[in-house]
């Protein structure tokens, strides 16, 4: 897969990409990440990429022409490959693991980083396929959001992680949060590791982790838990009876209390 990142601050982005899992994936050719300096597409001798907003007001706006030219040059060379052009933007769809998984199946994506007040609106209309937000808050530029998105995508590429199973149980993959982890020593400040994890009984460990995953999602993210529960009910009823309008919507029952006992889904 190839990921292009268009930014006013290429050094910051390149430096951050050289470490850890993403850095290793680049060196192992699992992913090809190219960072582009927007100023390369400016035409005046001061390499001006921003200007004051029409209508007045605070802050600067990234100019349309360098962005349009840069995006078409970066994407235009490829006659066969479709490039998904993504603007990092606090007004976009909030990023989810499902979107990350969808994007990781593309052969190419371009991440466009805004800065200051953002980009000229015409670029969004003419050149952007999708807008992604990393959450309902504002950071100063699209560089950190682009790095977050690139990292999340790379983790899902075959060969990026030491163990591909690492992403299977991970939080949000199946709509649940992951179970807790422990490592040596077995007792820290009087707090012992749950005995089942040291029992050697793999089936019991799997069951304990599943229950932990479900109960922790219910406790910490009731919104995710409710969605997961409805989906689990639909899956269950599809296994037992043919699809009808009613069971497509869920069973109509409410999510169970997990304070004790066992859940079967």
Ligand X SMILES: C[S@@+](CC[C@H](N)C(=O)[O-])C[C@H]1O[C@@H](n2cnc3c(N)ncnc32)[C@H](O)[C@@H]1O
* Interface ranges with ligand X (CB under 6 A): 88-91, 113-115, 117-118, 133-135, 137-142, 145
Of 141 and 213, which has the nearer Cβ to ligand X? Answer: 141
Q: Which residue is nearest to ligand X (CB)?
A: 114
Name the minimum Å distance from CB 27 to ligand X: 27
Of 105 and 139, which has the nearer Cβ to ligand X? Answer: 139
Of 135 and 159, which has the nearer Cβ to ligand X? Answer: 135
Q: Which residues pair with 108 in a beta bridge?
A: 2, 83
Helix locations, 92-132, DSSP H = 97-104, 121-127
Does a cis peptide bond (omega within 30 degrees of 0) precede residue 196?
no
Of 54 and 137, which has the nearer Cβ to ligand X? Answer: 137
Tokens for 254?
């409410």
Tokens for 124?
């969004």
In 3D space, the residue among 47, 28, 243 whose CA is nearest the CA of residue 157 turns out to be 28
Name the minimum Å distance from CB 8 to ligand X: 10
Name the minimum Å distance from CB 145 to ligand X: 4
Q: Residue 93 has what DSSP assignment? A: E
Name the minimum Å distance from CB 113 to ligand X: 5
Name the minimum Å distance from CB 62 to ligand X: 8
Q: Residue 141 has what DSSP assignment? A: B
Of 6 and 160, which has the nearer Cβ to ligand X? Answer: 6
Question: What is the chain's alpha carbon radius of gyration, rounded to the nearest angstrom?
Answer: 23
Name the minimum Å distance from CB 119 to ligand X: 6
Name the minimum Å distance from CB 141 to ligand X: 5
Q: Tell the residue number behind the tokens 């009823």, with chain if given.
A: 237
Of 56 and 200, which has the nearer Cβ to ligand X? Answer: 56
Of 132 and 176, which has the nearer Cβ to ligand X? Answer: 132
Of 124 and 216, which has the nearer Cβ to ligand X? Answer: 124
The C-alpha atoms of residue 84 and residue 107 are separated, in whole angstroms, by 9
Please answer whether residues 74 and 44 qualify as being in contact, where contact means their C-beta atoms are separated by less than 8 angstroms: no
Q: Residue 187 has what DSSP assignment? A: E
Helix locations, the chain, DSSP H = 10-17, 20-27, 64-76, 97-104, 121-127, 143-155, 202-220, 222-240, 245-248
Name the minimum Å distance from CB 144 to ligand X: 8
Q: Taking the CA of residue 149 as centre, how many other CA atoms within 13 Å lie in the half-sphere pointing to its CB? A: 32
């Amino acid at each position: 897969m190839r990921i292009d990142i268009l930014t006013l601050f290429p050094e910051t982005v390149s430096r951050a990409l050289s470490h850890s899992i993403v850095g290793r994936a680049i060196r192992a050719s699992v992913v090809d990440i190219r960072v582009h300096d927007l100023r390369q597409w400016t035409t005046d001798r001061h390499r001006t990429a921003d200007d004051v907003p029409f209508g007045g007001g605070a802050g600067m706006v990234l100019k349309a022409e360098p962005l349009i030219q840069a995006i078409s040059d970066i994407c235009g060379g490829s006659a066969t490959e479709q490039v998904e052009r993504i603007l990092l933007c606090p007004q976009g769809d909030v990023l989810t693991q499902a979107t990350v998984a969808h994007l990781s199946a593309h052969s190419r994506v371009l991440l466009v980083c805004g800065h200051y007040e953002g980009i000229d609106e015409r670029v969004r209309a003419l050149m952007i396929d999708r807008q992604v937000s990393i959450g309902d808050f504002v950071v100063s530029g699209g560089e950190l959001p682009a790095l977050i998105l690139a990292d999340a995508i790379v983790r899902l590429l075959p060969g990026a992680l030491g163990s591909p199973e690492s992403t299977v149980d991970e939080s949000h993959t199946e709509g649940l949060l992951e179970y807790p982890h422990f490592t040596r020593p077995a007792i820290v400040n009087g707090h012992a590791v749950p005995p089942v994890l040291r029992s050697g009984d793999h089936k019991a460990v799997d069951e304990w982790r599943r229950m932990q995953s479900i109960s922790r999602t219910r406790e910490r993210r009731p919104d995710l838990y409710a969605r997961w529960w409805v989906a689990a009910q639909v899956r269950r009823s599809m296994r037992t009876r043919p699809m009808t309008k009613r069971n497509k919507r869920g069973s109509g029952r409410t999510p169970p209390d997990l304070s004790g006992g066992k859940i079967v889904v």
